[in-house]
């Protein structure tokens, strides 16, 4: 994840409908045309003077500068109004495929994409788009509103402006959903309120970013682009998928009817941690459907928590051939089914295997020991156990599913003693996990001076990629006079004079806020580095 560079960022805003642009007709809200014309009249959405001075084309809007210090950094955007516009209750896979194809057609022309969408099915849309868009290297943000943008008191302006600013200023290569100052991973979000402006939540993953006086990006949560593969749009999503919510006493005959062909996959919402009735006739219907090849994914109807194998009433469903949906939202599970069933040439087992895997960050992968019983429970625990001789002869450089070694865990936890032992055992001090992160970076984030010192003494170096964003991070720390944070970076070898995204170094930022460098609350090495 990087802060976008360059003075001009170009976005495409795809307006599909939803409350944000709705008008009241005969007492009810219906989709309204002409959103771009409305935005043009609102100074927060369009700087007419700048547009004239630059001779921007008629269809291009430009935001005022986000920071007065950088008047040349502008987010320009074009609103593409779909025809027809929808209340999102009418959106289907067909419309979402069209959105994905629109992004594909314009992928080279724009730095990022905002999809303006109704909120009712926005979590479905974001989930489907996350699977359709493979190798995404640009930011895609869905947003909308609970109240139309024309209303005096509304959430549409804030939501749309936030989405444009985030997509324009940051490269977050995911399909995201922005609402009420929070940027969620799209396939982790769900709508939880019909009226409140905080309409969405993400029960199993914290926001990727939050917007207040500052923008805080949770970098460690943002998925990394793997390789340089070009964007692939999977348009062949399976439409014959369904959602069945169990309720106490649901008759087996009803389940039988629901599971009939042409249905090829179903998300079954179950009780609690994935439990359901254990009536033999109902289990028999599920078993028969699974045996003819219907994919049945078990998702809990609870907002929080995952499907487990704690209860007989849950294992009975697994025994009937259902697949655990773990902590996926039903929206994500349905989209994933549609995607997996749409992939050509896979065996039934191949599809089941894909359903169980984390493909787009939609599910929390099972703990290492659940999948590899021979390994100890956590990376750190494993490393320590091995050091204590509990598993003599095993490989200390074993990685977990994120590619992290025991040294990563020890560094993240600031366990100086364990770091020392692991280094003595010859673990690679510069090992990178699947996101390219080293133990040293994790120690810096945790501000563990002891661990940083040990790792540095053993030859640890921050990679150019890890340093990529450090200028901006250092400026942020300097703006808060965060001596401890700056010292951790300095100790790890970062150049504190490195410019941030707007060309200013941590020192510039600090001096801009405090009249004299003599006021620096930074002591010792960090102060020396800045001055
Ligand atoms: N019914 C509207 C829609 O989903 C709700 C909204 O956008 N707030 O299009």
Residue 232 pLDDT > 70, yes or no? yes
Element (H, E) at 342: helix 330-342
Residue 367 pLDDT > 90, yes or no? no
CA dist 313 and 251 (Å) reads 16
Q: What is the mean pLDDT of the chain?
A: 88
Q: Do 16 and 88 contact (CB within 8 A), yes or no?
A: yes
Place 126 in a pLDDT band, splitting at 50, 70 and 90. Answer: very high
Q: What is the pTM of this model?
A: 0.73
CA dist 517 and 239 (Å) reads 64
Residue 156 Cβ contacting ligand 1 at under 6 Å:
no
| Mean pLDDT to the nearest integer, 382-403 | 52
Beta strands 28-30 and 74-86, pairing class = unpaired
Residue 516 pLDDT > 90, yes or no? no
Number of neighbours of residue 331 by Cβ within 10 angstroms: 26
Residue 107 pLDDT > 80, yes or no? yes
Q: Do 91 and 118 contact (CB within 8 A), yes or no?
A: yes
CA dist 147 and 4 (Å) reads 31
CA dist 505 and 490 (Å) reads 13
Beta strands 175-179 and 295-300, pairing class = unpaired
CA dist 113 and 256 (Å) reads 42
Percent of the chain's residues with pLDDT above 70: 88
| Mean pLDDT to the nearest integer, 262-275 | 98
Residue 155 Cβ contacting ligand 1 at under 6 Å:
no
Residue 523 pLDDT > 90, yes or no? no
| Mean pLDDT to the nearest integer, 321-336 | 98
pLDDT at 517: 44
SS3 readout for 228-276: CCCCEECCCCCCCEEEEECCCCCCHHHHHHHCCCCCCEEEEEEECCCEC
The one catalytic residue in 16, 78, 119, 329 is 119
Indicate the top mutation candidate among 25, 89, 115, 120 to test ligand 1's pocket, ranked by most ligand atoms within 8 A of CB.
Answer: 120
Of the listed ranges 19-23, 68-72, 387-391, 439-443, the one predicted with least confidence: 387-391
pLDDT at 394: 45
More confident of the two residues 523 and 483? 483
More confident of the two residues 475 and 45? 45
Distance between Cα 122 and ligand 1 center (Å):
9
- Report how far Cα 82 is from the mean position of its chain's Cα atoms: 26
Indicate the top mutation candidate among 15, 16, 18 to test ligand 1's pocket, ranked by most ligand atoms within 8 A of CB.
Answer: 18
Residue 105 pLDDT > 60, yes or no? yes
Q: Which of 111, 85, 91 is nearest to 29 (CA)?
A: 85
Place 270 in a pLDDT band, splitting at 50, 70 and 90. Answer: very high
Q: Do 438 and 460 contact (CB within 8 A), yes or no?
A: yes
pLDDT at 520: 42
CA dist 276 and 308 (Å) reads 12
Residue 182 pLDDT > 50, yes or no? yes
Distance between Cα 120 and ligand 1 center (Å):
5
Place 466 in a pLDDT band, splitting at 50, 70 and 90. Answer: confident
Place 3 in a pLDDT band, splitting at 50, 70 and 90. Answer: low
Q: Do 114 and 145 contact (CB within 8 A), yes or no?
A: no
Q: What is the dihedral of CA 75, 76, 81, 87, to 10 degrees?
A: 10
Q: Could you tell me if the ipTM is greater than 0.90?
A: yes
Residue 290 pLDDT > 80, yes or no? yes
Q: Do 12 and 106 contact (CB within 8 A), yes or no?
A: yes
Percent of the chain's residues with pLDDT above 90: 67
Of the listed ranges 286-300, 354-368, 460-474, the one predicted with least confidence: 460-474
And the tokens for 415? 């366990």
Residue 201 pLDDT > 60, yes or no? yes
**Which is the closest atom of ligand 1 to the Cα of 20?**
7
119 is known as an active-site residue: yes
Q: What are phi and psi of 2, to 5 degrees?
A: -130, 155
CA dist 117 and 177 (Å) reads 10
Cis bond upstream, residue 84 (ω within 30): yes
pLDDT in tens, 406-462: 898 889 888 887 887 788 788 899 999 887 889 999 999 888 888 898 898 888 999
**Which is the closest atom of ligand 1 to the Cα of 144?**
7
Q: What are phi and psi of 84, to 5 degrees?
A: -80, 170
Q: Do 118 and 148 contact (CB within 8 A), yes or no?
A: no
Q: Whose C-alpha lies nearest to ligand 1, atom 8? A: 146
Q: Do 442 and 411 contact (CB within 8 A), yes or no?
A: yes
Residue 160 pLDDT > 80, yes or no? yes
Indicate the top mutation candidate among 115, 118, 150 to test ligand 1's pocket, ranked by most ligand atoms within 8 A of CB.
Answer: 118
Residue 381 pLDDT > 70, yes or no? no
Q: Residue 338: which residues within 8 A CB-CB, separation 6 or more? A: 93, 128, 131, 237, 238, 239, 241, 265
Distance between Cα 44 and ligand 1 center (Å):
23
Place 530 in a pLDDT band, splitting at 50, 70 and 90. Answer: very low
34 Rama class: left (phi>0) / alpha (psi -120 to 50) / beta: left
pLDDT at 526: 41
């Amino acid at each position: 994840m990087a802060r976008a560079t360059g003075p001009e960022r170009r976005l495409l805003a795809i307006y599909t409908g939803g409350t944000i642009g709705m008008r009241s007709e005969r007492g009810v809200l219906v989709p309204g045309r002409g959103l771009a014309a409305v935005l043009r009249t609102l100074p927060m959405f369009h700087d007419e003077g700048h547009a004239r001075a630059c001779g921007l084309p008629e269809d291009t809007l430009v935001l005022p500068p986000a920071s007065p210090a950088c008047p040349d950094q502008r987010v320009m955007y074009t609103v593409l109004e779909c025809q027809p516009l929808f209340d999102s209750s009418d959106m289907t896979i067909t419309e979402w495929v069209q959105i994905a194809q629109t992004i594909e057609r314009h992928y080279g022309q724009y730095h990022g994409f905002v999809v303006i969408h109704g909120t009712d099915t926005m979590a479905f849309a974001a989930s489907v788009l996350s699977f359709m868009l493979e190798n995404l290297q640009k930011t895609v943000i869905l947003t909308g509103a609970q109240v139309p943008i024309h209303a005096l008191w509304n959430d549409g302006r804030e939501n749309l402006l936030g989405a444009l600013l985030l997509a324009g200023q940051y490269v977050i290569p995911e399909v995201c959903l922005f609402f009420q100052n929070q940027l969620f991973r799209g396939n982790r979000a769900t709508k939880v309120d019909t009226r409140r402006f905080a309409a969405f939540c993400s029960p199993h993953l914290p926001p990727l970013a939050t917007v207040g006086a500052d923008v805080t990006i949770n970098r460690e949560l943002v998925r990394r682009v793997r390789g340089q593969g070009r964007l692939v749009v999977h348009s062949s999503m399976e439409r014959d998928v369904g959602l069945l919510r169990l309720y106490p006493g649901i008759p087996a005959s009803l389940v039988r009817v629901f599971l009939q062909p042409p249905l090829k996959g179903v998300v079954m919402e179950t009780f609690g941690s994935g439990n359901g009735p254990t009536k033999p006739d109902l289990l028999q219907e599920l078993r028969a459907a699974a045996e003819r090849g219907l994919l049945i994914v078990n998702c809990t109807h609870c907002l929080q928590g995952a499907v487990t194998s704690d209860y007989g009433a849950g294992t009975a469903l697994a025994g009937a051939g259902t697949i655990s949906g773990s902590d996926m939202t039903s929206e994500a599970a349905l989209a994933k089914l549609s995607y997996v069933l749409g992939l050509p040439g896979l065996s039934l087992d191949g599809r089941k295997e894909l359903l169980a895997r984390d493909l787009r960050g939609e599910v929390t992968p099972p703990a290492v020991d659940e999948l590899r019983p021979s390994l100890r429970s956590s990376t750190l625990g494993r490393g320590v156990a091995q050091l204590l001789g509990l598993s003599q002869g095993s490989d200390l450089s074993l990685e977990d599913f994120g590619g992290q070694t025991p040294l990563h865990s020890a560094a993240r936890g600031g366990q100086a003693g364990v770091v020392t032992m692991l280094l003595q055992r010859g673990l690679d001090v510069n090992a990178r996990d699947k996101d390219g992160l080293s133990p040293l970076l994790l120690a810096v984030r945790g501000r563990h001076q002891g661990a940083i010192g040990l790792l540095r003494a053993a030859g640890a170096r921050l990679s150019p990629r890890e340093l990529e964003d450090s200028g901006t991070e250092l400026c942020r720390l300097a703006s808060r006079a965060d001596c401890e944070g700056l010292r951790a970076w300095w100790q790890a070898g970062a150049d504190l004079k490195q410019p941030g995204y707007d060309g200013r170094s941590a020192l510039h930022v600090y001096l801009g806020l405090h009249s004299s460098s003599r006021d620096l609350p930074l002591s010792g090495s960090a102060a020396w580095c800045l001055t």
